Amino acid sequence: MTAAEFVAQLDAENQAALRGLEPDATLKPEVEGALNVPNLLKVALKNEIEATEIAARWLVTTDDVPVKLALARQVGDEAKHYRLIADRLAQLGVDAGAVDPLAGGYGPLFKYLDTLTTTVERVAAGQFTREAIAVVKNRQFIEFCERAGDKVTATLYRDVIEPDEYFHHQLGRSLLLRLAGTPEAQELARGAAARTLSLAEELQQAALKTAGIHHAPGC
Ligand SMILES: [Fe+2]
Ligand SMILES: [Fe+2]
């Protein structure tokens, strides 16, 4: 199949899988104990620093100039998100400077992405799929913030962060249209996308089990 047909198919498969990440419409989020906006923003800091770093690692290990530039844009955006979230935490009375988001080490998704060596896999996993997951999770987080009465955080995500993450997804789409033209490349891309989705599902289930978190923002 052509790259365009492949990307349309992968997108449809991703979207179908992502519906599994969306909470049951009837499920009322249970805000108990530590499940609040500041603590979810601390989870977001870790996601943003990991997204910054993986894009930076890939930027220096590709010779493909359009890919370098897409990753450079992403590095800047994810670092900007980190700063905006840290600023919002400060407004909420949390000193983000005292938080080391990598104190517990890198997460499983970062570690998986760091093993990928081909550009088509990296773009399929890290941009096309991960950023599609981020869009879904951020929309859930925006709803969570609104229910919690935090309009400022909801607006930050709706007006700045979520549009950037969607742009990263679209960067992945435009690169895949060029890179996924052969059956071999398509197989690599499909495998990397599937692994990314399954890790996201596992992470969500683990977060739900251990901390009751099902609205953690993504990048
Ligand atoms: Fe992103
Ligand atoms: Fe981000």
Could you report the per-residue pLDDT of 142-193, keeping only the tens digit for each? 999 999 999 999 999 999 999 999 999 999 999 999 999 999 999 999 999 9
CA atoms within 13 A on the CB side of 4: 0
Could you report the per-residue pLDDT of 90-119, keeping only the tens digit for each? 999 999 999 899 998 999 999 999 999 999
d(CA 159, ligand 1 centre) in Å: 14
- The per-residue pLDDT for 26 is 38
Could you report the per-residue pLDDT of 64-98, keeping only the tens digit for each? 999 999 999 999 999 999 999 999 999 999 999 99
- The per-residue pLDDT for 213 is 73
Q: Is pLDDT of 31 > 50? A: no
- pLDDT confidence band for 20 (50 / 70 / 90): confident
Beta-carbon neighbours within 5 Å of ion ligand 1? 165, 168, 219
Report the alpha-carbon distance of residue 140 to residue 114 in Å, rounded. 27
What is the residue-averaged pLDDT of the chain?
91
- The per-residue pLDDT for 203 is 77
d(CA 30, ligand 2 centre) in Å: 25
Report the alpha-carbon distance of residue 143 to residue 131 in Å, rounded. 18
Mean pLDDT in residue range 127-149: 93
* pTM score, whole prediction: 0.91
Quick one: 132 exposed, middle or buried, by C-beta within 10 A (0-12, 13-18, 19+)? buried
Q: Is pLDDT of 29 > 50? A: no
d(CA 17, ligand 1 centre) in Å: 19
Higher pLDDT, 210 or 53: 53
Nearest ligand, CA of residue 131?
1
- The per-residue pLDDT for 19 is 86
Nearest ligand, CA of residue 79?
2
- The per-residue pLDDT for 34 is 66
3-state percent helix, strand, coil for the chain, nearest multiple of 5: 75, 0, 25
